[in-house]
A = this chain, B = another copy of it.
Amino acid sequence: MKNAPDPKADLSAQIAQAIRDAIVEGRMIVDERLPSEAELAEQFSVSRPTVREALKRLAAQSLIRTARGAFGGAFVNHLRYEDAYGQQITTSTLLLSMNAVSFETACEARYALERACTPLAADRRGPDHLATMRAEIHRQSQAGLSDEAFCASDVAFHRALVDAAGNPVLSYQLAGAVEAMQPLMNMITFTARSREAIVRLHSRIADALQAHDAAAAESALHELEAYTQTLGRDVMAARAARAGQ
């Protein structure tokens, strides 16, 4: 199709794009071996280092993997969920930090997405999901927990909620939204009182899912979003006040 190589791009970028197209369009199947670097260099009429740079670009996106030795080489990679998770989280985190997305916008997106999972989660949650959520709630109730640990537990709780929907595509899409929020959440100082409020809402969510009550879970999530927004606004106000002094 789009066989027009961008003339302004570097050679290594053009070659990477050509191979990427071949993979994405299905002309190369999973675990198929690419020609050796020397052969590719000849095919594209470039030198081996140039081919290597192209292959490294693809390797960075987990599209290929390489192995040394005889019968080694570059292979079309079977993209696993965990690889995709990692990339999505990195990209989402950077996007949030670099575009200076407001706490409000990120929070709104995150909870909107989580509510999308709720009806499915209420339907399909298994005992393991509930157990994870209960365990994280218990951890969050412990005194002396650092703010970072509280945040991490919060993420684990919400991931369990997402996973309870039993849809790997949904879990993948939401991994970025939930994890990327963590740096923003880490700016918040969780007082004993706010922790108590969050734990209570988490419990309500777990209870609702256990009772297969999607509406109750959604309502609790709405309240949690509102409460989180309040906490975020307080932090931002405090920051602004400090900066204005």
Contacts and interface: CB of A to CB of B under 8 A. Distances in A.
Interface of A: 12, 16, 20, 23-24, 26, 30, 49, 52-54, 56-61, 63, 78-81, 84, 87-88, 90-99, 101, 105-106, 108-110, 112-113, 115-117, 119-120, 165, 167-170, 172-174, 176-177
SS class, residues of chain A in contact with chain B: helix
Given A24-B93, A112-B120, 9 more contacts: A20-B90, A60-B61, A79-B94, A79-B99, A81-B99, A112-B170, A113-B113, A116-B116, A173-B177
The 5 closest A-B pairs by CB, nearest first: A116-B116, A57-B60, A109-B169, A60-B60, A109-B170
12 contacts: A26-B97, A54-B56, A56-B60, A79-B98, A84-B91, A88-B88, A92-B173, A105-B169, A110-B169, A112-B165, A113-B170, A115-B116
